[in-house]
Amino acid sequence: MKTNYLYIKQKLMAWFTPRGSRCASSPRVGFTLVELLVVVAIIGVLSTFAIGGLRSISRASALTTTAQRVADQINLARQIATARNLPVEVRVYSLPYFGMTTGGAWLFRGMQVYVVNGTNYEAASRRVLFPERVIIRDQDLVSVMSRVSWSNPIITTNWGEFGKSGYGYRYFTIRPDGKAVIYNTTDYTNNTALNDYNNWFTLHNWEQDIPCGSSQPMPSNYAIVQINPFDSKATIIRP
């Protein structure tokens, strides 16, 4: 009788005991502190590379998008000049640091199109401000756009949040016949047509405290906006 009782007890314990705990000598599952530290270090290294890659992709995307917006502004000016039979200025604005409205560096990071009707200048597009770090290489604008625009016409109005003493611009003009020119006088009588040597400018990502002039090496990631001298059509070239 006692034997039967022990037999039944063993059977019941076998039935209701979790399978993983039946063997008292089975090893405990877990990680040592050293193993956890190694895993955390690996995750940190991989995250660093991933964040750097995402930043590069983000900047490249912003550069492409901005180049397209610049080309769209030029093509819009071309259409307006033909439709209204009036010259249209394409202005590129030199502005303070990103996030600032006064002082700091002067970076070409804004655009707007104006219709020239006699002595009146009518805004024909919305202001375009470039995203963080994207600028137009200033040395290109020296050859493409007229220096006279820094002093004439005299800046007497604010440009959005930028005060009249807090910005400047360079420009070229698209005539009603579609040709892009640089006017050397303020009365629109003497002009120089764009040609294959001065019909483009470069956009790239800018880093603070790094000069933007042509003496600096061209960055690996950039976009060129080229203007056809004969019909002012803008196209984008990416490396």
The confidence score (pLDDT) of residue 126 equals 92
Nearest to 104 by CA among 60, 42, 166, 160: 166
Other residues' Cβ atoms within 10 Å of the Cβ of residue 95: 26
Query: Cβ(122)–Cβ(156) under 8 Å?
Result: no
Where in the chain are the domains? 46-237
Sites in the chain below the pLDDT cut of 70: 1-31, 49-54, 104-105, 139-156, 183-191, 195-197, 207-218
Question: Phi first, then psi: what are they for 224, rounded to 5°?
Answer: -110, 130
Half-sphere exposure in the Cβ direction for 7 (13 Å, CA): 4
pTM, two decimals, is 0.71
Per-residue pLDDT reduced to its tens digit, 110-148: 999 999 998 888 999 999 999 988 998 876 555 455 443
Q: Which residues of 210-234 are buried (b: 16+ CB within 10 A; e: fewer)?
A: eebeeeeeeeeebbbbbbbbeebeb
The confidence score (pLDDT) of residue 60 equals 84
Q: Which of the listed CATH numbers 3.55.40.10, 1.10.3720.10, 1.10.357.10, 2.170.120.12 matches domain 46-237?
A: 3.55.40.10
Which residue type does 92 have? V
The confidence score (pLDDT) of residue 191 equals 67
Per-residue pLDDT reduced to its tens digit, 76-90: 999 999 999 999 999
Nearest to 74 by CA among 149, 150, 178, 193: 178
The confidence score (pLDDT) of residue 149 equals 40
The confidence score (pLDDT) of residue 129 equals 93
